[in-house]
């Protein structure tokens, strides 16, 4: 039985391997000429820039059955990510399942099947499938409210299409946005540009990549996370807890720039987006090398950016780092209606059960819709999808529908930036859905391990998984002896 998988990035590759585990045949439609999704950095699509490194450590940003090379740094580069994905495809003989230069145009449900239509170069093709997994990810369309860009006489660059800093050399650069892309490109521009200005709308909480000499995600996914559970609606007390722990661990943003200070009262009652910031960026902000302007960019003029209060910021280059939307325009209107697809809602574009499925569309699943560092996230989501397809997922329809209603309430309650999920709680939630146990106490005792939950602790019933988990622990302990 074939499963159509749309996308050959990190999650699509995971879905393909999971199909093989269940004796299903993956048929992967990849839009471009190269696997990797955003990681391949091809010029014609949204992707990463040359100098970027992962935001999560390699120990958690791995497949459950495949380790990174021990010589790779804790936060791998773009080329190292691509090497890792290539090695995984080679290991599991997935290359023959992946069809390149196939842009999906339409997916619709017809009776108990799905018609999938795609374009391969100039030829339109279509095929019927029993199952479809959408693995196009969250970063599939850039957000921008500017419509009349021709009035600006300089260069407008979308952050997702930025690759290297030579285009910024000697220029007055204005970056609009303060999330991952905005911070990284502002720092890149600082190396070659004449002046760098960063415009932002709201305060952020930030994480460093390391804390106390260890990768930050080691603390987020420490074994205690397995004893937690997902609860809806999310309470303000939980939000306050997450805010306060992050600020205590990495510092109040106000220590970098006074205007970024987050008071205790603000931490109690507000959801703050979290951004990974490098030490170099933090130093640049602290030393006021990057000009910060709080405001909403609403328009452009011939020499730069117009803010909501009417003030103008001059620029030679404007870099739009205003976030991304989930692009599922290829789904039929019937499917989009059922999942309540709202692409303008950046963090909650559709209403489905735990980001994977909807009971009214059997045979269709989604993976990779949330940016979270949860270990084994791709493998766990794919496993949920395939078990559901096969009718062996032990979750009632009633629970699915209640979960969807909870998500709708959260979407309406938190408005523009809903926080349907605290990312780290997805790990115990997915384990619960799959009825999987992680014997972390046994692992700690047997291996003398004091580190985080890692993907290799999942699927321990798999042949050879115990040996792989031991090897993963040895790799971590060699790098961080106190664990």
Q: Is residue 168 part of a domain?
A: yes
- Does residue 357 sit in the same domain as residue 277? no
- Does residue 60 sit in the same domain as residue 106? yes
Q: Is residue 339 part of a domain?
A: yes
**Gap between the Cα atoms of 171 and 472, Å rounded:** 46
- Does residue 299 sit in the same domain as residue 177? yes
- At 473 the pLDDT is 96
- At 422 the pLDDT is 66
Q: Name the β-bridge partners of 176.
A: 199, 320
- Does residue 268 sit in the same domain as residue 207? yes
- Between helix 10-21 and helix 78-91 the angle, nearest 10°, is 20
Instruction: Identify the domain boundary among 405, 421, 436.
Output: 436
- Does residue 205 sit in the same domain as residue 310? yes
- Does residue 155 sit in the same domain as residue 115? no
- Does residue 303 sit in the same domain as residue 392? no
- Does residue 74 sit in the same domain as residue 114? yes
- Does residue 194 sit in the same domain as residue 284? yes
Q: Which residues contact 63 (CB under 8 A, 6 or more apart)?
A: 14, 17, 88, 376, 378, 379, 455
Residue with tokens 């117009």: 306
- At 372 the pLDDT is 83
Q: Is residue 443 part of a domain?
A: no
Instruction: Identify the domain boundary among 323, 344, 361.
Output: 323
Q: Is residue 377 part of a domain?
A: yes
pLDDT digit string (tens) for the chain, length 483 residues: 999 999 999 999 999 999 999 999 999 999 999 999 999 999 888 999 999 999 999 999 999 999 999 999 999 999 999 999 999 999 999 999 999 999 999 999 999 999 999 999 999 999 999 999 999 988 888 887 787 889 999 999 999 999 999 999 999 999 999 999 999 999 999 999 999 999 999 999 999 999 999 999 999 999 998 988 877 666 667 778 888 888 988 999 999 999 999 999 998 888 788 888 999 999 999 999 999 999 999 999 999 999 999 999 999 999 999 888 889 999 999 999 999 998 877 777 889 999 999 999 999 999 998 878 899 999 999 999 999 999 999 999 999 999 898 878 777 765 544 455 667 788 999 999 999 999 999 998 899 999 999 999 999 999 999 999 999 999 999 999 999
Q: Is residue 452 part of a domain?
A: no
Residue 307: φ, ψ to 5°: -95, 170
- Does residue 315 sit in the same domain as residue 338? no
- Does residue 176 sit in the same domain as residue 306? yes
Q: Is residue 468 part of a domain?
A: no
| Number of domains comprising the chain | 2
DSSP code per residue over 37-87? GGGG--TTSS---TT-B-SS-TTTSS-TT-PPPTTS-SS-BHHHHHHHHHH
Instruction: Identify the domain boundary among 323, 358, 387.
Output: 323
- Structural domain boundaries, residue 28: 2-141+325-436
- Does residue 243 sit in the same domain as residue 294? yes
CATH number for position 210: 3.50.50.60
User: How far from chain centre, in Å, is Cα 133?
Assistant: 17
Q: Is residue 445 part of a domain?
A: no
Q: Is residue 472 part of a domain?
A: no
- Between helix 426-434 and helix 377-390 the angle, nearest 10°, is 30
Q: How many residues does the chain have?
A: 483
Closest alpha carbon to 306 in 183, 344, 315 = 315
The 3-state secondary structure of 267-323, one letter per residue: HHHCCCCEEECCHHHHHHHHCCCCEEEECCEEEEECCEEEECCCCEEECCEEEECCC
Contact 445, 451 (CB under 8 A): no
């Amino acid at each position: 039985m074939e499963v159509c998988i749309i996308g050959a990035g990190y999650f699509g590759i995971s879905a393909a391997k999971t199909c093989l585990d269940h004796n299903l045949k993956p048929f992967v439609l990849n839009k471009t000429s190269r696997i990797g999704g955003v990681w391949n950095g091809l010029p014609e699509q949204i992707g990463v820039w040359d100098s970027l490194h992962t935001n999560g450590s390699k120990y958690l940003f791995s497949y459950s059955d495949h380790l990174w090379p021990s010589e790779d740094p804790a936060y791998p580069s773009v080329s190292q990510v691509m090497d890792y994905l290539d090695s995984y495809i080679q290991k599991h003989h997935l290359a023959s399942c992946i069809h390149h230069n196939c842009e999906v145009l339409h997916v619709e449900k017809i009776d108990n099947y799905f018609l999938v239509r795609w374009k391969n170069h100039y030829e339109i093709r279509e095929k019927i499938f029993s199952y479809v997994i959408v693995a196009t990810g969250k970063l599939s369309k850039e957000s921008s409210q500017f419509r009349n860009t021709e009035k600006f006489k300089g260069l407008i660059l979308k952050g997702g299409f930025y690759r290297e800093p030579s285009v910024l050399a000697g220029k007055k650069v204005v970056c609009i946005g303060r999330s991952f892309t905005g911070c990284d490109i502002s720092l890149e521009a600082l190396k070659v540009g004449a002046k760098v200005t960063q415009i932002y709308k709201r305060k952020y909480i930030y994480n460093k990549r390391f804390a106390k000499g260890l990768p930050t995600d080691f603390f987020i996914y420490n074994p205690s996370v397995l004893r937690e559970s997902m609860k809806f609606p999310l309470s303000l007390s939980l939000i306050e807890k997450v805010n306060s722990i992050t600020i205590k661990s990495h510092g109040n943003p106000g220590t970098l720039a006074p205007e970024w200070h987050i008071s205790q009262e603000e931490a109690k009652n507000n959801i703050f987006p979290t951004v990974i910031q490098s030490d170099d960026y933090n130093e640049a902000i602290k030393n006021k090398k990057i000009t910060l302007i709080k405001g909403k960019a609403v328009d452009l003029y011939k020499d730069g950016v117009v803010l909501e209060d009417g003030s103008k910021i001059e620029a030679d280059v404007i870099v739009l780092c205003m976030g991304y939307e989930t692009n599922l325009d290829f789904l039929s209107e019937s499917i989009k209606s059922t999942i309540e697809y709202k692409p303008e809602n950046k963090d909650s574009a559709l209403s489905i059960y735990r980001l994977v499925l909807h009971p009214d569309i059997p045979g269709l699943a989604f993976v990779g819709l949330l940016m979270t560092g949860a270990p084994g996230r791709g493998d766990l989501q794919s496993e949920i999808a395939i078990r559901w397809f096969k009718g062996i997922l032990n979750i009632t329809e009633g629970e699915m529908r209640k979960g969807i209603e909870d998500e709708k309430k959260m979407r309406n309650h938190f408005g523009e930036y809903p926080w349907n999920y605290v990312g780290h709680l997805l790990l115990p939630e997915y384990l619960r859905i799959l009825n999987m146990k992680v014997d972390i106490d046994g692992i700690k005792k047997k291996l003398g391990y004091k580190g985080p939950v890692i993907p290799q602790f999942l699927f321990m019933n798999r042949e050879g998984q115990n040996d792989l988990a031991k090897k993963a622990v040895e790799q971590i302990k060699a790098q961080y002896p106190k664990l």
